[in-house]
């Protein structure tokens, strides 16, 4: 089995730097090419930033798979009481802590390196994640949802579709790492699968699926309308 923690220690910083235009140095040709095609990921984080600006005030917020904590500043500057960020990568968490210090928000943020399976429930007002569900087993997704059965949330996921963009993504995944990691790769969920987990693991009566052409084959599931 692939060492998932080591996989992300090796990948996350370069992935963030390239996908979000932070730093383009030391990337392979394949990664640089993929960055050019990653407008959907940049739209996803920009969409989430706008969302947090509207809803963060007065809330305790938890991000699962926070990477370098790039969204903590937006949440705190728009009135969040506290921001908790969790990621499997210690390198990402170290950088998140440095970013928080640089932006003078350290007193209102908590970052910790922890896998989803090791997390405990936090009494918060909002949980969210971007891309994290894609890398979890179905059992781990169920466990994550069970951490916030009655707490508002939104999570992005890769939706299983027959599309050229998803075909290209599958090809990139295979060439970049799937062939070398014993099939450790993103999982594309159907709406039916994720709604079943929602119904099984939460106490909410209604879910909302948000799609946008700018997200390509990405989508969000949430407890409230995102548009």
Mention every residue, 6+ apart, whose C-beta is less than 8 A from residue 70: 16, 20, 45, 99
* pLDDT at position 79: 98
Q: Of 151, 139, 134, which Cα lies nearest the Cα of 203?
A: 151
Is the per-residue pLDDT at 27 higher than 90?
no
Q: Name the band, by pLDDT with cuts 50, 70 and 90, for residue 194.
A: very high
The SS3 of residue 129 is strand
* Strand 218-222 with 152-158, pairing: antiparallel
Is 101 strand, coil or helix? helix
DSSP 160: P
- Identify the pLDDT of residue 133: 97
Please tell me the predicted confidence (pLDDT) of residue 14.
86
What burial class does residue 152 get, using C-beta atoms within 10 Å of its C-beta: 0-12 exposed, 13-18 middle, 19+ buried?
A: middle
Query: Is a pLDDT exceeding 70 seen at residue 119?
Result: yes
Residue 170's pLDDT is 86
Q: What is the pTM of this model?
A: 0.91
Identify which of 16-30, 121-135, 156-170 has the greatest average pLDDT.
121-135
Q: In the structure, what pLDDT confidence band is assigned to residue 182 with cuts at 50, 70 and 90?
A: low
What gap in Å lies between CA 48 and CA 67, rounded to an integer? 15
Q: Assign 23 a pLDDT band (cuts: 50, 70, 90).
A: low
Q: Look at residue 154 in the predicted model and tell me its pLDDT.
A: 98
Q: How far is CA 74 from CA 61, 87, 129, 172, in A?
A: 12, 18, 15, 31
Looking at 46-50, 80-84, 170-174, which range is the least confident one? 170-174
Q: How confident is the model at residue 2 (pLDDT cuts 50, 70, 90)?
A: confident
Tokens describing residue 159: 């939706």
Residue 114 Cα distances to 34, 128, 135, 147, 161, angstroms: 28, 16, 14, 14, 31
Q: Which of 134, 159, 153, 149 is nearest to 63 (CA)?
A: 153
Domain map (residue ranges) of the chain: 4-222
Q: Give the pLDDT band of residue 20 (cuts 50, 70, 90).
A: confident
Question: Is residue 121 predicted with pLDDT exceeding 60?
Answer: yes
Q: How confident is the model at residue 184 (pLDDT cuts 50, 70, 90)?
A: confident
Domain 4-222: CATH superfamily is Vaccinia Virus protein VP39 (3.40.50.150)
Q: Who wins on pLDDT, 28 or 73? A: 73
């Amino acid at each position: 089995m692939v060492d998932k923690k080591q996989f992300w220690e090796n990948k996350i910083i370069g992935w963030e730097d390239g996908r979000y235009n932070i730093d383009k140095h030391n990337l392979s040709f394949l990664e640089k090419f993929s960055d050019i095609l990653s407008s959907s990921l940049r739209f996803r984080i920009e969409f989430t930033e706008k969302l947090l600006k509207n809803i963060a005030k007065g809330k305790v917020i938890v991000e699962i798979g926070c990477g370098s904590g790039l969204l903590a500043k937006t949440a705190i500057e728009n009135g969040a009481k506290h921001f908790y960020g969790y990621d499997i990568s210690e390198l990402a968490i170290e950088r998140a802590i440095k970013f928080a210090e640089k932006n003078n928000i350290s007193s209102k943020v908590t970052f910790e390196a922890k896998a989803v399976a090791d997390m405990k429930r936090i009494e918060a007002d909002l949980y969210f994640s971007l891309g994290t569900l894609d890398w979890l087993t179905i059992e781990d997704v169920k466990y994550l949802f069970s951490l916030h059965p009655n707490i508002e949330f939104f999570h992005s996921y890769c939706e299983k579709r027959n599309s050229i963009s998803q075909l290209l993504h599958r090809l990139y995944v295979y060439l970049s790492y799937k062939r070398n990691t014993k099939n450790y790769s993103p999982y594309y969920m159907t709406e039916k699968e994720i709604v079943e987990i929602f119904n099984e693991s939460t106490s909410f009566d209604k879910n909302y699926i948000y799609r946008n052409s700018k997200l390509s084959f990405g989508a969000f599931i949430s407890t409230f309308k995102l548009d």
